[in-house]
Amino acid sequence: MRNILHCGSGALLRRTRSVRPALAVMCSACMVLTVMTSCGGHDDKKAAAGPTLVSVVTVTPTNLPVSIEYVAQTQSSHQVNIQARVSGFLDRQVYTEGALVKAGQVLFLMDKKPFQAQLNGAAAALARQKAAMETARLNLERTKPLAAQNALSQKDLDDATGSFESSAAAVEQAISQLETARLNLSYCTITSPISGITGAALLQDGTYINQQNSQLTTVAVLSPMWVNFSISENEMQRFRDKIARKLLIPPPNGSFDVEIILVDGSTFPHKGKITYASPSYNAQTGTFLLRASVDNPKGILRPNQYVRALLKGGIKPGAIVLPQRAVQQGGKGHFVWVVDKSGKAEYRPVTAGEWHGNDWLIEEGLKAGETVVVDGGLTLQSGAPVTVKR
């Protein structure tokens, strides 16, 4: 009996050990089935979520005002070098460096004493020559009647006439020397020929001035101010091509408005016009120089200041613009989502141009009447159903 029980227990144990792997396999299968069932339920829930809710715009071509931006630099429309006209000692500087001055305002004074002495000497020489001419005139008047009566020879008359004419010429020369001395004395007071802003004084008081160091300072006109900018040869050719293909309509007579953007991003209150175009390209840079003239009554713009120049007045006919958030960028470039006639999302590559405020110019890829997704397109896929938000 003990042997039978022992044999039966061993068989039961062996059967139990053989059942455990089978149970493990069955449990694993149940777990896989459970996971598959739960996954299938998740897909069912996602599918049950329905189409993606989006907001859209309809592509409507419009005549878009075009502005072209360039880096520019200001330049005074009239800048002069203030130079001494005579040699001598600089007495003193009478202006404030960097201040605005009026035309005719005194800037420097030179030592006048030597020039005053020259003026006095020239005046005395003129008086002497006038006295000599008066004596020659009286002598000629006495000689003429005597020569007519043959009391004096023709030679005496010729000598008297020559003496008078020589003294008269000497008087004219003395007058010229007196005027020169008077001008040299006036040049000791150095004034500004224009109204503008002054530069730094290049020479100090007491310096001897001659032809080698005659420049004293500069004065630059602030209004109008010139704004210079350059266009590359390639850009100029593209500009002409767009006009020829009717993709860009320039303003009448090519009279573009020039708007100035300051370094802080603010817009200068006065607009200008292009007043000069270089007759040739720069051989070193391959660029074409343009110059605009801008009123600057308050002196906000200063010479050699960097600004941005916006050329306005051109029109791009039939332009397509979209809100910036409607345009996305992927590995192959810019794209948008278009809602097709069946209400599904369609991936559409586009060529994006410049920004215009909060809109983006679309050069290629869209046509009039198409519906483009603006909001809700981040999770879209091709062929996904969409519902337009009303």
Please tell me what DSSP assigns to residue 251: P
Instruction: State mean pLDDT over 155-160.
Output: 92
**CB proximity list for 56: less than 8 A, separation 6 or greater:** 339, 371, 372, 373, 374, 388, 389
* Cβ proximity of 111 and 188 under 8 Å: yes
Tokens of 76: 């005074």
* Cβ proximity of 233 and 293 under 8 Å: no
Q: Say yes or no to pLDDT of 273 above 50.
A: yes
* Cβ proximity of 334 and 352 under 8 Å: yes
Q: How confident is the model at residue 49 (pLDDT cuts 50, 70, 90)?
A: low
pLDDT of residue 348: 94
Q: How confident is the model at residue 67 (pLDDT cuts 50, 70, 90)?
A: confident
pLDDT in tens, 94-133: 999 999 999 999 999 999 999 999 999 999 999 999 999 9
User: CA 352, CA 355: separation in Å to the nearest integer?
Assistant: 9
The better pLDDT of the pair 200, 8 is held by 200
Instruction: State mean pLDDT over 234-260.
Output: 90
Q: Say yes or no to pLDDT of 9 above 50.
A: no
pLDDT of residue 221: 96
The domains of the chain, with CATH numbers, are 52-65+319-388 (2.40.420.20), 67-76+222-315 (2.40.30.170), 81-220 (2.40.50.100)
User: CA 371, CA 335: separation in Å to the nearest integer?
Assistant: 14
What is the share, in percent, of the chain residues with pLDDT greater than 70?
A: 87
pLDDT of residue 107: 97
Instruction: State mean pLDDT over 47-71.
Output: 84
Q: For residue 331, which phi and psi values (nearest 5 degrees)?
A: -65, -20
Burial of 214 (0-12, 13-18, 19+ CB in 10 A): middle
In this structure, how many other beta carbons lie within 10 angstroms of the beta carbon of residue 283? 6
pLDDT of residue 176: 97
**CB proximity list for 146: less than 8 A, separation 6 or greater:** 152, 156
Instruction: State mean pLDDT over 210-227.
Output: 95
User: CA 185, CA 116: separation in Å to the nearest integer?
Assistant: 6
